[in-house]
Amino acid sequence: MSLIITCEVGGNELPSWFDPQLHLPSKARRGRKKKRTSSRHSGKHPSNQHPSNQSGNSVKTKSARRSNAATSAQTNKLQENGSEDYQPELRTDHELTITTDVAASTFSTPPLNTPKRKTSLARKRFKINHDRYPSPLQQLPKSTKVDDSAREIADHMAHQLDAASIMHQHPIELIDVTKDQNQRNLISGPFKSVTSETQLRLLSEIHQPYFEQVCSGVDSLLQQNGYVIHLSVKTFPLLRNKNRLRTDVGLLYDTTSQDEVDLSMDWIDDLWYRAPMLKVRRNYPRRGAEIGITRRLRREFKGKDYVGLELWLNRAWAARRVSLREEALDAMTESLGAVTGLSESAMPYQEAA
């Protein structure tokens, strides 16, 4: 019997050829558009333009009519006297002439302040967190679902049990390697708007190679030992749709596979003695026969001694750096080793007997 542990949700790397700007929506890639402002706020109000550029009928104020009449009389008098050197001073004050339809609104109400434009939702959501990710991943959006805790726990269990391990290096939203190629939402989250050429390249260079790598690892162990247990590790949030998920450990398996049922029941019974602080539920928070990496491998190795389980851990305790967490993880690892025969650790109640 041999054990292989995988984690499909803990990767945080982007391919070297992947343009970091491809994950942004089209509006965010083009940048902000300048907001259109009305003529009242843009300085293009008819009352602010030169009278010669205005169209339509206009009304002149008394002061404007007086000034123009005086200028015309003075010009006529000088022309009669034969003085051609004098050039009258023409007043072109644009405030003296206004249109009738905007006269009242212009002088009776103060100008309105243009409201400040709010930061777009796309820019808030895709703000880059430079502190969380190392320098090669500075363009990785903050909203990407990177399950660091699941990858750490999978590495810990594989190291303690001396088991084979395969870790997916890329975010699950970039390409979901747990699904088949013909299923929906393979690319989700901030990467959903990538081009069709990029999607095909993600399928051919990331999605298919990872599944082939896992299949190759399982097939190699089958040829060596004839019986393989595959454990896929991931975590889940405490709340889902504002509802509290009331479990600490979820063990997912296919109820039609007798080997998976027996292994799951033995592991749960052993955990009841080794880690009484953990609440374990079967096929929760979802069923093990649903879409997942183990379901794909069951079809691939149908008729062979392959047993696939999914270990789901509540992030409320699995992501906390406390001593009780380390104690629970050690007990869980020892329990799996004892049940599968990979370690010689005996259960406490057997020692007391």
> What per-residue confidence (pLDDT) applies to 240?
76
- Tell whether omega for the bond before 285 is within 30 degrees of 0, i.e. cis: yes
Whether pLDDT at 206 is above 70: yes
d(CA 281, CA 264): 10
> What per-residue confidence (pLDDT) applies to 166?
95
Instruction: Enter the tokens of residue 339.
Output: 């049940």
Q: Considering the chain, what is the average pLDDT of its residues?
A: 75
> What per-residue confidence (pLDDT) applies to 95?
44
Distances 114 to 35, 40, 41, 105, 148 between C-alpha atoms, Å:
10, 10, 7, 17, 45
Looking up tokens 């007798």, which residue turns up? 258
- What is the separation of C-alpha 245 from the centre of its chain, rounded to a whole number of angstroms? 22
> What per-residue confidence (pLDDT) applies to 351?
39
Q: How confident is the model at residue 21 (pLDDT cuts 50, 70, 90)?
A: low
CB atoms within 10 A of CB 23: 27
Residue 126 domain-assigned (yes or no): no
d(CA 45, CA 264): 77
> What per-residue confidence (pLDDT) applies to 260?
95
> What per-residue confidence (pLDDT) applies to 158?
94
Higher pLDDT, 138 or 282: 282
Residue 36 domain-assigned (yes or no): no
Q: How confident is the model at residue 185 (pLDDT cuts 50, 70, 90)?
A: confident
The reply to whether 101 and 148 lie within a common domain is: no
The reply to whether 10 and 78 lie within a common domain is: no
Residue 216 domain-assigned (yes or no): yes
For 87-138, the pLDDT digits (tens) are: 545 444 444 444 444 444 444 444 445 455 544 444 443 443 444 434 334 4
Higher pLDDT, 351 or 54: 54
Residue 206 domain-assigned (yes or no): yes
Q: Which of 65, 86, 108 is the last residue of a domain?
A: 108
The reply to whether 151 and 290 lie within a common domain is: yes
> What per-residue confidence (pLDDT) applies to 121?
42
Whether pLDDT at 253 is above 50: yes
The reply to whether 244 and 346 lie within a common domain is: yes
The reply to whether 176 and 72 lie within a common domain is: no
> What per-residue confidence (pLDDT) applies to 105?
42
- What is the percentage of the chain residues whose pLDDT exceeds 90? 40
Residue 308 domain-assigned (yes or no): yes
Q: Which of 86, 108, 130 is the last residue of a domain?
A: 108
Q: How confident is the model at residue 282 (pLDDT cuts 50, 70, 90)?
A: very high
The reply to whether 202 and 282 lie within a common domain is: yes
The reply to whether 191 and 85 lie within a common domain is: no
Residue 35 domain-assigned (yes or no): no
Residue 233, domain extent:
2-30+142-352
Q: In the predicted model, what is the mean pLDDT of residues 284-294?
A: 89
Whether pLDDT at 256 is above 60: yes
The reply to whether 298 and 238 lie within a common domain is: yes
Whether pLDDT at 307 is above 60: yes
The reply to whether 221 and 249 lie within a common domain is: yes
The reply to whether 155 and 296 lie within a common domain is: yes
The reply to whether 6 and 57 lie within a common domain is: no
Q: In the predicted model, what is the mean pLDDT of residues 5-17?
A: 89
For 65-92, the pLDDT digits (tens) are: 666 666 666 656 555 555 445 554 544 4
Cα 190–Cα 192–Cα 197 angle in degrees, nearest 5: 125
> What per-residue confidence (pLDDT) applies to 214?
96
> What per-residue confidence (pLDDT) applies to 142?
59
The reply to whether 25 and 58 lie within a common domain is: no
CATH code for position 190: 3.40.630.40
Nearest to 285 by CA among 324, 315, 262: 315
Q: Which residues contact 73 (CB under 8 A, 6 or more apart)?
A: none
> What per-residue confidence (pLDDT) applies to 286?
87
Residue 20 domain-assigned (yes or no): yes
> How many structural domains does the chain have?
2
Q: Which of 108, 123, 155 is the last residue of a domain?
A: 108
For 144-181, the pLDDT digits (tens) are: 677 889 999 999 999 999 999 999 999 998 999 999 99
Residue 122 domain-assigned (yes or no): no
